[in-house]
Amino acid sequence: MKTTYSYEELLKFDDPFEYELGLPLKINNLPSTVVEEDIPDSKTKLLEKLAEGYSLIIQKPQIPNEKVFAALQLLGENDFMKLYAVNEKDFNEPLWDLLYESEYNLHWTFFLLIEMTGVVFELSYTGGETRALTLSGLNANTLIHLRLEVDESVTCRWG
């Protein structure tokens, strides 16, 4: 199954990301298109996108900090959360296992992003507020959220 939403269709939804698309993050500006589709295998898709130059962005709670995160690039942190970027070279089987196990854990968020330049990441609990990771500055970018357990992807494109 493959469903494509245009910018105009997204405008008609009350909250297209949370209720219609089920993304585990907030995005400040609507993409020009969104494609929801079934994929043959989430892990294969993830590895393909990393090989194409995408970065895997992971937000996770501060504690516990598994050993698998020690070598990863830390993008930011606050008192509650840490944000990491993973490239193809740093991705490994223990990280895959942890992502698969943590897919539905509260405050865990992960997705692929083709371009990180200019993107602003606002971590959960910033300023004492309880909410999801928020992204802005996604001009001409592509974001892919993989639903690992059900082998689905949501691709958001700007520009």
Question: pLDDT tens, 22-73?
Answer: 888 888 889 999 999 999 999 999 999 999 999 999 999 988 778 999 989 9
Please give the Cα distance from 137 to 140 (Å, whole number). Answer: 9
CA atoms within 13 A on the CB side of 73: 12
- At residue 100, φ and ψ (nearest 5 deg) are -60, -45
How many percent of the chain have pLDDT more than 70? 96
Quick one: tokens of 52?
Answer: 């194409």
Contact yes or no for 61/81 (Cβ under 8 A): yes
pLDDT at 129: 63
Contact yes or no for 32/157 (Cβ under 8 A): yes
Please give the Cα distance from 140 to 129 (Å, whole number). Answer: 29
Quick one: tokens of 16?
Answer: 């297209």
Global confidence as pTM: 0.93
Contact yes or no for 56/91 (Cβ under 8 A): yes
- Contacts of 96 by beta carbon, 8 Å cutoff, 6+ apart: 43, 46
Amino acid present at 4: T
For 69-86, what is the mean pLDDT?
Answer: 94
Domain positions in the chain are 2-157
Nearest to 68, CA basis, from 54, 82, 48: 82
